[in-house]
Chains A and B, each alone.
Chain A
Amino acid sequence: MTEAIAVSGLRKSYGKTVALDGLDLGVAVGEVHGFLGPNGSGKTTTIRILLGLLRADGGAARLLGGDPWSEAAALHRRLAYVPGDVTLWPSLSGGEIIDLLGRLRGGIDAKRRASLLERFELDPTKKARAYSKGNRQKVALISALASDVELLLLDEPTAGLDPLMEARFRECVEEERHSGRTVLLSSHILSEVEALCDRVTIIRAGRAVESGTLTELRHLTRTSITAELAGQPAGLGQLPGVHDLDVQDRPGHGTSVRCEVDTDKLNEVLRQLTEAGVRSLVSQPPTLEELFLRHYAAGRPGEPARAADAAGAGDTAGVRS
């Protein structure tokens, strides 16, 4: 078995609201897989189906080689889950909850628990009602990371953590990767995904819209070009893969050109530019942010499919002015 999570064509509706509309998701054993998508795109629903908390309406889901619904309890011995919004029993202390959840999974590593408490600077004697959101998150994280499991399902685990704690969390996930554990990490924090994940899946409106390594995904995005030219660029507008072209003639100073170019069409565009005589050239490599924003915004009512490009343009405004 090389797939820790294998989901295909997964469907789930709540009444008339379609949460998952044929989702595909594959997570290989031993990889850290980023799971991204705008709010309400179905990430949490997917994870809750994988946990057997929800029953899928259609499609197939396999978790660690088993059926997440009918074999839930047995599979749960082999995984740990950190919800995005951790609620705890107000009258129990953090230490008690860490132990309880760990024991119910089938055991907790006392040494690792102690070191995690220290690293995350959590006071385990506080009652849960006194914890802030970040500290509640730490309780769930420590309990999950200290459990001896094969798979970690983390649903926006760093929401509410301060930057220092977020860095500690990254160290911990790195360690998990080295010890061969599989991690499904749902997150909105792109730097976190970029730093940790081997592969990512982006979902929107209940479907996977992209899946692959970050390098693969980068090829799918656009490079923004700003150039000062000696002459007129001929036929730039007709080239495939050129978007948002803006040509301004400045008599006596040549022509300034701005455009967004599909990264795989870059060569043809550059040839056109050099033919017109390049005086200066600024090329902004595609950022992950741009990639995500494009996928997040696309298809939303009232928003043009390219709205993300405007956001991307904002990033490079300093270069262009």
Chain B
Amino acid sequence: MTALAQDAPAPGRAGSRKPAALAGFGELGKLAGRRDRVMLPAWIYLLTVAMVGTGYSFKTGYKTAASRAAVYATTAHDAALTALAGPIFGSSVGALTAWKYGGASAALAALMSIFIVTRHTRGDEEAGRLELVGSTTVGRHTALAVGLALAAAASCLLAVLIAAGLAVVGLPVTGSVAIGLAVASCGLVFAAVAGVTAQLAGSARGARGSAIGLLVTVYVLQSVAASAAGLHWLGWLSPVYWAEQVRAFAGDRWAVLALPLACTAVIAIVAPVLESRRDVGAGLVQPRPGPAAAGRTLRSPLALAWRLQHGSFIGWAVGTLLLGVAVGSVAKGIGSMLGSGKGIREAVTRLGGQAGLSDAYLAAIMSLVGLAAAGYAISAVLRLRSDEAAGRADPLLATAMGRIGWSASQLVVAAAGAAIVLAAAGLGAGISYGSQVGGIGVQLPRLLGAALAQLPAVLVLAGVAVLLVGMLPRICVGAAWAALAVVALLVLLGPTLRLAQWVQDISPFSHVPRLPGGTVSAAPLIWLSVIAVALAAAGLAGLRRRDIG
């Protein structure tokens, strides 16, 4: 039925003045803009602030040319640092900003594009919304065009704001424009890439996942090309590398921008061609069939929870493992790099570290890993609510599975998953840092312990999410993420803003010992664990008493 609707233009469209394939662009575009009115400004705002903030901190933290030259000198020859942050092309404030944040910013702009395009194409298709809209006078390629246009508009706006922001901070205008365009160009390329993966993959999740996978691949290519001599040519395969090679504030090579623009144009032409060849709701790549019968073990709530969650948790664990490796590999150099940058040295110390800049750096990162693990744990807990709201819980609870069995088994997987996500970060950091400072045997248990020390605080946040699911199901999703956001702000800004200690103590992470390097005391960890268990128990009690649905 959908195929027919796709192949033949509906009679109603024939008389339309616009090209039939794009009919309804204006209406659908307005709808899309309205639906993204919160998410899109938030993305653009955060990306702009991060870039402008980086520029500002380099401007105020490295006032003298000598201090900046020192950063340049240590970085240019440190393979690990270039791998993490990208190649460095100069010692001006602008060049340092572009080095520190240019590549990451380009990658984040790409991520934004992927989310926008997938959401308005396959995401809507999968939710069935596009079918309803598609039955009106909306063209075959309208949704794709709207997604691409919205992503392109977001990238362009980002370019303008970054350029304006950096110029306001006092950086050279041409360089500011160059880096704005460089970041936006990467966003454009990945808008087009997501437009193509949306045609290929079997589901919205698959479309988004394969585009993100490609982004990670080109980011790694960029890292390899930037840090390994003789492999620079590899970088030219990566749009992130192109953005860096614009060399904003260090020569402004405008011609390089032609690469991403040409690439975007080519890929963007492929997407509608592919779209004409597939059915609504299905990708060109046929989904692999699953097993005809359930495995022997899929017979308990716990087995189901594991089956449903293991994919996402393995993704998180691999992510934190890589983060650990990356962080561990630069931790040793952190002292020499920051030696002349007083502002950043203070900032890291203020982030909660103690003696020894490397340890302080690692301890600060462990707090961030703790926040990430809390994000994982909350999203795992909220699956209870999404299963309930989608009606998937009903058939389960209509079996002999009780509510507690259903919810507790998901919580067990969430808690164990959070522990493994943390351990992965500790493992990665321990091995890579240990191999640099000569003593994996010493550093591995030390950093593993530092990572796992975050677990009680992570579980407190997960417990808050359980309590919300049990007591306030209608608002639990927003409230749980808001709780994480508040804690994240306290962790990230509390020490810098010198907030009163009792305010900072609202965050469970404030009670976790600073590790590595700090002193361990068991009491707060035990207290946090007790609170987490009490919150979860109260949440489960609420879930048992209330209506499902």
Task: Specify which of A76, A90, A95, A130 is in contact with B399 (CB 8 Å cutoff).
Answer: A76
Q: Give Cα A106 to B282, complex, Å.
A: 36
User: B20-28, B189-197, B264-272, B386-394: which one contacts chain A?
Assistant: B386-394
Judged by a CB distance under 8 angstroms, whether B395 is at the interface is yes
Contact with B along A69-86 (1 / 0, CB 8 A): 000111011011101011
- Do A83 and B394 contact each other (CB < 8 Å), given the known contacts A54-B549, A55-B547, A90-B203? yes
Interface residues of A in 119-170 (CB under 8 A from B): 123-127, 129-130, 140, 153
* B residues near A129, Cβ cutoff 8 Å: 126, 202-203, 287
Contact with B along A189-220 (1 / 0, CB 8 A): 00000000000000000000000000000000
Contact with A along B278-304 (1 / 0, CB 8 A): 000010000101111111001111001
Task: Specify which of A77, A90, A91, A101 is in contact with B396 (CB 8 Å cutoff).
Answer: A101
Least distance between B99 CB and chain A CB atoms (Å): 41
Q: Give Cα A99 to B431, complex, Å.
A: 43
Q: Is the CB of B308 within 8 A of A73?
A: no
Q: Is the CB of B400 within 8 A of A106?
A: yes
Nearest A-chain residue to B308, judged by Cβ: A89
* B residues near A106, Cβ cutoff 8 Å: 400
Q: Is the CB of A96 within 8 A of B549?
A: no
Q: Give Cα A93 to B290, complex, Å.
A: 5
Interface residues of B in 285-328 (CB under 8 A from A): 287, 289-295, 298-301, 304, 307-308, 311
Q: Give Cα A51 to B289, complex, Å.
A: 33
Label chain B's interface by main secondary structure: loop
Q: Give Cα A270 to B293, complex, Å.
A: 64
Q: Is the CB of A101 within 8 A of B399?
A: yes
Judged by a CB distance under 8 angstroms, whether A295 is at the interface is no
Nearest B-chain residue to A104, judged by Cβ: B399
* A residues near B205, Cβ cutoff 8 Å: 90
Judged by a CB distance under 8 angstroms, whether A18 is at the interface is no
Judged by a CB distance under 8 angstroms, whether A87 is at the interface is yes
Query: Interface size (A, Cβ < 8 Å)?
Result: 45
* A residues near B300, Cβ cutoff 8 Å: 104
Nearest B-chain residue to A97, judged by Cβ: B294
Q: Is the CB of A125 within 8 A of B289?
A: yes
Task: Specify which of A48, A81, A101, A126 is in contact with B290 (CB 8 Å cutoff).
Answer: A126
Judged by a CB distance under 8 angstroms, whether A311 is at the interface is no
Judged by a CB distance under 8 angstroms, whether B398 is at the interface is yes
Q: Give Cα A110 to B299, complex, Å.
A: 15
Contact with A along B390-410 (1 / 0, CB 8 A): 111011111111100100000
Judged by a CB distance under 8 angstroms, whether B548 is at the interface is yes
Least distance between B399 CB and chain A CB atoms (Å): 4
Task: Specify which of A73, A100, A123 is in contact with B304 (CB 8 Å cutoff).
Answer: A100
Q: Is the CB of A100 within 8 A of B294?
A: yes
Nearest B-chain residue to A52, judged by Cβ: B397
Q: Give Cα A94 to B398, complex, Å.
A: 18
* A residues near B301, Cβ cutoff 8 Å: 104
Residue among B293, B301, B390, B549 with the highest chain A CB neighbour number at 10 A: B293
Q: Is the CB of B399 within 8 A of A99?
A: no
Task: Specify which of B291, B298, B390, B401 is in contact with A73 (CB 8 Å cutoff).
Answer: B401
Least distance between B279 CB and chain A CB atoms (Å): 11
Q: Is the CB of A99 within 8 A of B203?
A: no
Q: Is the CB of B291 within 8 A of A93?
A: yes
* B residues near A83, Cβ cutoff 8 Å: 391, 394-395
* B residues near A127, Cβ cutoff 8 Å: 287, 289-290
Task: Specify which of A72, A89, A96 is in contact with B392 (CB 8 Å cutoff).
Answer: A89
Least distance between A89 CB and chain B CB atoms (Å): 6
Q: Is the CB of B292 within 8 A of A125?
A: yes
Task: Specify which of B287, B290, B398 is in contact with A96 (CB 8 Å cutoff).
Answer: B290
* A residues near B398, Cβ cutoff 8 Å: 51, 53, 76, 79-81, 153
Judged by a CB distance under 8 angstroms, whether A92 is at the interface is yes
* A residues near B391, Cβ cutoff 8 Å: 83, 85-87
Q: Is the CB of B298 within 8 A of A99?
A: yes
Category for how many chain B residues contact A: 35 or more
* A residues near B291, Cβ cutoff 8 Å: 93, 95-96, 125
Nearest A-chain residue to B394, judged by Cβ: A83
Q: Is the CB of B400 within 8 A of A74?
A: yes
Least distance between B334 CB and chain A CB atoms (Å): 41
Q: Is the CB of B394 within 8 A of A81?
A: yes
Q: Is the CB of A95 within 8 A of B401?
A: no
Interface residues of B in 391-439 (CB under 8 A from A): 391-392, 394-402, 405
Judged by a CB distance under 8 angstroms, whether A103 is at the interface is yes
Least distance between A137 CB and chain B CB atoms (Å): 12
Residue among A85, A88, A96, A98 with the highest chain B CB neighbour number at 10 A: A96
Q: Is the CB of A88 within 8 A of B392?
A: yes
Q: Is the CB of B287 within 8 A of A81?
A: no
Q: Give Cα A220 to B395, complex, Å.
A: 37
* B residues near A72, Cβ cutoff 8 Å: 397, 402
* A residues near B307, Cβ cutoff 8 Å: 92
Q: Give Cα A76 to B396, complex, Å.
A: 10
Q: Is the CB of B399 within 8 A of A92?
A: no
Task: Specify which of B295, B311, B399, B547 is in contact with A105 (CB 8 Å cutoff).
Answer: B399
* B residues near A123, Cβ cutoff 8 Å: 289
Q: Is the CB of A104 within 8 A of B290?
A: no
Q: Is the CB of A73 within 8 A of B400?
A: yes
* B residues near A52, Cβ cutoff 8 Å: 397
Least distance between A70 CB and chain B CB atoms (Å): 11
Q: Give Cα A122 to B282, complex, Å.
A: 19
Q: Is the CB of B395 within 8 A of A73?
A: no
* A residues near B298, Cβ cutoff 8 Å: 96, 99-100, 103
Closest 10 interchain pairs by CB? Answer: A93-B290, A99-B294, A104-B399, A125-B289, A81-B398, A96-B294, A53-B548, A95-B292, A73-B402, A103-B299
Name 29 A/B residue pairs within 8 A (Cβ), A-sorted: A48-B394, A48-B549, A51-B397, A52-B397, A53-B394, A54-B547, A73-B401, A76-B397, A80-B398, A81-B398, A86-B395, A89-B308, A90-B203, A91-B311, A95-B293, A96-B295, A96-B298, A97-B294, A100-B294, A100-B299, A101-B395, A101-B396, A104-B300, A104-B400, A104-B401, A123-B289, A125-B291, A126-B289, A130-B287
Query: Interface residues, chain A, CB within 8 Å of chain B?
Result: 48, 51-55, 72-74, 76-77, 79-81, 83, 85-101, 103-106, 123-127, 129-130, 140, 153
Known: A97-B294, A104-B400. 16 other contacts (CB 8 A): A48-B548, A51-B394, A51-B397, A52-B397, A53-B397, A73-B400, A73-B402, A83-B391, A87-B390, A87-B392, A96-B293, A96-B295, A96-B298, A98-B294, A125-B292, A127-B290
